[in-house]
Amino acid sequence: MLFAAGCEIWRPPLPLPEEYEKGIVVMYPGSLNTTSEMVGFYEGLRSAGVDQAIEVVQWATFLEHMFDPVGAQQRNGPRAQQEADRLAAVRRMNPDLPITLFGYSGGCWFATLVAERLPAGVTIDRVILMSPAFDRAYDMTTALDRTSEGFVSFWSSGDDFTLEIRDIFSLADSTRGEPAATFGFPGDDPRLRQIAYDPAWEAYAHYGGHTDYVLLTDWIRDFVAPEVAVRPAAE
């Protein structure tokens, strides 16, 4: 596929002003950092009727943490802080606006960094992690504290691809720990809801692999879209 070489074959439509009035879903791609990685997620959410603004934010350069694992983490902190500051400004101006962060693979690492860098007292609604390619032992406490509805993490014990990438290069956090994408997170914090692979998803052609999440729009519509934060309609 073209985007596997860093070329874009799809760019998201610019959100409309009326969509921003209904909420924001901020998507962070995987380590390829192409907008094309997120086309299936975008279309799946739209087909489910998600009418909020959907932004796709490229958070690093192409495969940066693989080529420069030390430097990438030094740069990711300030980048995540800048993004957290942007979202904090949105929250202060719109205290009732639903805000969901949505990460895929390496983008789950960045979404977590952004959440934990929000100022104390400023929260977003929810963070959705799709196959989080970072160490499952990472302390999620601060990131969880910055959400009102917690995290939702999709993972699969059949995700061998993340293990292979870890062994050849490293995970998105530049470690070689056990990826949450393959083993899930430890502990039982109720704010971190984990959704393990279900063999019933084979009806959607989802077999538990790392890339199975990406283009299965019907599966995304039925299982992921309901996790996007919404606010009850005013009576």
- Domain assignment present for residue 232? The answer is no
The maximal CA–CA distance of the chain, rounded, in angstroms, is: 55
Q: What is the pLDDT of residues 159-195, one digit of tens each?
A: 999 999 999 999 999 999 999 999 999 999 999 999 9
pTM for the predicted model, two decimal places: 0.95
- Domain assignment present for residue 23? The answer is yes
CA distance 176 to 169: 8
- What's the domain count of the chain? 1
- Domain assignment present for residue 6? The answer is no
Return the pLDDT at 9.
Answer: 87
Range of the domain at 106: 18-227
> For strand 151-155 and strand 192-196, is the pairing parallel, antiparallel, or unpaired?
parallel
Which residues, 6+ apart, have CB-to-CB distance to 168 below 8 Å?
none
- Domain assignment present for residue 5? The answer is no
Which CATH number characterizes residue 215's domain?
Answer: 3.40.50.1820
